[in-house]
Amino acid sequence: MFDSQTSVEPERETTNWAMYGAEDAVALLQRDVENNNFNRSYIITGPEAVGKRTLATRFAQAIFSPNGKQNNSYSIYDAIEKEDFGDVQWIRIGGDCKPQNGAPVKPHTHPDTTIGVCQIRKMSVDMNNKSFNGTHKVFIVDSVDDLSRGDEQPFSALLKQLEEPPPNTTILLLSANPENLSLTIRSRCQLVKIPAMSRDLLTDAILKSNLTEDIQSAKKYATISKGCYGLAYMQLSDPAYEITLNSILEDIENLAGAGSQDRMEYSERLGKAWRNEPEIVLETLNIWKAWWREALQIATNVISIELSTFHNKSDSQLTSQIALRALTALEEAENNLQVNVNARLALDMMMIDIPQLSNTH
Ligand SMILES: [Zn+2]
């Protein structure tokens, strides 16, 4: 229906939607596109930055531009990629609301921490308007985890749409934490899961997609991004990240064998950073966890020192109990920070609770 008259061959890469580690999810959605038999709604789940947004984009592209990229002056495929295609709407935190004439609400700016109920209601208005292409409409809630918790309104508005969307309407809910959604919402949607990849598979994917040619570096990023291709992609595309990463890893190694004074200086530094750049502190803790997870794997003989990414010599002090204690301390600090416990206190406790290794580093 959107085929142009040109004879341009579709590009090969679009056939697998160029996604790593999401084979089952892609197969499921591709089958629905091929059969032209869509569920009314899907819930795309998987950890943060695993590729949920990319999958939703590829799905919409397959619906509206089944032959992939086309070399036309106007390409639907590209328009969807740029989120500039009227029949594919993204519902996200923020932005301005411009109600149509006669609507009972005034123009306003949306809250910057949650998706407002009016955004969900507007979705239903748009659903019932004619589509620009006269065929299909796709609405993507990115993410449904951002609907205001403890407020029933947006959820019941959403549920109403999931129950009776107009024909030729597809709703995609993206979620990293689907278990937080009510069963009534989940049961209305086809579940599409993108799992995290194993370290070896992600290492392969990073090398295949030429994000780096260095095997050791590919392995390092596969470990840090916890199997999420999207995360590895973002990190490897940012040259500044490598510098930050290496300096954090250096700190971790030095502090593993350090005494309390050095450790308290470090937690003071992190505590200060928390005020202005909390996301950097959380990322730092993530890297600490990756380091200690690997220590645990070494202590339990899951991987050898030779194959490890962060550890280059064995440490007689390292046991699985010690690694577990460190991981627990890191988890606790992360939880405390997220519930607004005094940051300095949470980080001091963490540095005290992480066991000291022998001072050979
Ligand atoms: Zn609004």
Report the distance separating Cα 40 and Cα 170, nearest Å: 5
pLDDT digits (tens, 9 = 90+) for 17-45: 888 889 999 999 999 999 988 899 999 99
Closest to 172 measured CA to CA, from 205, 211, 144: 144
136 alpha carbon – ligand 1 mean position (Å): 24
Backbone angles phi, psi at 139, to 5 degrees: -120, 130
- 299 DSSP assignment: H
176 alpha carbon – ligand 1 mean position (Å): 24
Rounded alpha-carbon distances, angstroms, from residue 355 to 181, 190, 224, 259, 359: 38, 45, 21, 10, 12
64 alpha carbon – ligand 1 mean position (Å): 28
For each of the domains in the chain, give its residue range(s) and CATH number, in order of start: 12-193 (3.40.50.300), 238-353 (no CATH)
94 alpha carbon – ligand 1 mean position (Å): 9
115 alpha carbon – ligand 1 mean position (Å): 9
Closest to 310 measured CA to CA, from 241, 246, 239: 246
34 alpha carbon – ligand 1 mean position (Å): 36
Are 42 and 190 contacting, i.e. CB atoms less than 8 angstroms apart? yes
**For residue 189, with 0-12 CB atoms within 10 Å meaning exposed, 13-18 middle and 19 or more buried, which class applies?**
buried
More confident residue, 313 or 342: 342
153 alpha carbon – ligand 1 mean position (Å): 14
Q: What angle do CA 186, 191, 193 make, to 5 degrees?
A: 130
Tokens in use for 339? 């519930």
Q: What is the mean pLDDT of the chain?
A: 88
116 alpha carbon – ligand 1 mean position (Å): 7
105 alpha carbon – ligand 1 mean position (Å): 8
pLDDT digits (tens, 9 = 90+) for 319-331: 999 999 999 999 9
252 alpha carbon – ligand 1 mean position (Å): 45
Q: Say if residue 51's pLDDT is above 80.
A: yes
pLDDT digits (tens, 9 = 90+) for 200-226: 999 999 999 899 999 999 999 999 998
Are 193 and 43 contacting, i.e. CB atoms less than 8 angstroms apart? no
